[in-house]
Structure 1
Amino acid sequence: MRLLQELKPVHIIDPSELLRPEPKFATKDINAFRDYTINDEDPIQERVRKTYLEMHTNQTVDFVKAKRDKWFKYDTFKATMKDALIKLNDLVDESDPDVDIPNIVHAFQTAERIRKDYPNDDWFHLTGLIHDAGKVMAFYDEPQWCVVGDTFLVGAEWAPSIVYRENSFNDNPDGKNPKYNTKYGMYEPHCGLDNLLISWGHDEYLYNMLKHNKTKLPEHALKMIRFHSFYPWHTGEDYGHFMTEHDQTEIKKWVLAFNQYDLYTKSTEVPDIEALWPYYESLIDKYIPGELNW
């Protein structure tokens, strides 16, 4: 593994951020990021678009249920949380244009900014560090379109604020299924977040894996992890007809509190990761100790 201290400073940004239609992201200073204008002659921009196209074509109700059945057996591999995070250094994220930067840099950037603002909430520091650890699925024969990127609801009509919503779902068979293509689809009004089937990705996997391994992280930390990529809900203001009051107030409050660190800590500053490991290892030992079943 290359030494992190030797990396040249670069901008680290989730490409879907600038492709999201919400005004909140459109006002972000464009000079801080690369240009993500849709351009089929730009290989990076095309890669991002194609990742979402494959995601929106293939993520159906049946597909998500099959992935849950597969991964909720927790028999794929065993590893400590630290080892899983280190493994992500070898992941080239197809939704990230800055492919030379180890994923672990973003993890420490997020954790350290949270630590600065919430010095007494060590559970929050650890949540920032591990929030993307579910991406290890990409090392076990999973295509990245069902590992990374924004998530969305399956089993009901697709929300208008989903990235590339206009035509990226054209070949998804659920769009032709009357059980799934209406406003409520297979759900009841105000059934609540916990009763919704979200597209498969690293969020849902890590949330359930942590619960299976009996983490001592508080429940609101787990909700931050579970829904941090569910942008059509927490930022696009879609799916309100499925939410309870608790979802729209308490859960969304925690998810948005986390997401400002997930999005806006991506910068040129590379933390001294080797110096920080002892502190975060102590948090792993406190909240998610030992070898875990993944």
Structure 2
Amino acid sequence: MGGLLRAAIAGIAIGLMELFLYLHEPNDESVAPLLAPFPAGLLLGRLLRLPRWWLGAALAPFLNIAIIALALRGLTFPDLLDVGVLPTALVFAVIGAGGHMTATALTSRADRMIRYSVIGALVVGFTGMSLSTGAIAEKAREGRLAQSGLPLVVVGSPRYSPVHLAEWYSEWIAGMPSFEIAYDGPDGAKVELYVMAGTAASPRAACTEPVPGVSHRADEIGRCREVAPEVWVRAEAGWTRVFARHGEALVQVASGTVGEAGLLAVLPTLRPATAQELAAIGEG
């Protein structure tokens, strides 16, 4: 049992080292985070006198990959960081400990019942962790929305139900920061709400060259007209877009199934929302 505890210590150290490398490695394509666990495992295994330390050091990184695939399916490293550095450090430490303990249990000559019990407990534990990935992803979305700097706005009409949230403001996405909420309405009606900072453009300019860029094709031809102060409607082939200000937000309400009158009726229902409320919509 002492060997398994020492293996846990080695795994925690390696997991935290991995997090440090991911946070401070300037080159995103660097292989250092992938290769570093092997020499680190050999060094710590030797220093901590782990049973068959050379074999455990070679096996543990592959077990860590398997644990990540099982316990964190669908999540990315940025998702974890959006929840917070300390929770991410805890996850890395637990995965590192689990991988090293499993490797030691598989390769040591300790009591068979103890080894199998440890492996079984780890499998059950990480399987249980996988059930929380949805909650982790939602918490990450909430953090991103809260820090996005965008006004948080939703459609308040009971006629429309949110079905999908898309975020367009990460450092990997070019173009104007924004988010989109897709809504389903009665009789197959579908409406899209795009929310941007009010300083992004005027409703007139946004109508002439629709923003955000992800909401339309660049070659789409449309005609714009002002239907009320600071409210512009763009008519395209089979698509209608309404641009307006709402508080500190510039919004676009668009649809291929709802006409101009229906989209204009959506504007008065817009209301402020919390990051938690938006995050709960999910990615559909």
Q: Same fold (TM over 0.5)?
A: no
* TM class, shorter-length: under 0.3
Higher strand share: 2
Relative contact order (C-alpha < 8 Å, sep 6+): which is higher? 1
Which protein shows a greater Rg? 2
Normalized against structure 1, the TM-score is what?
A: 0.21
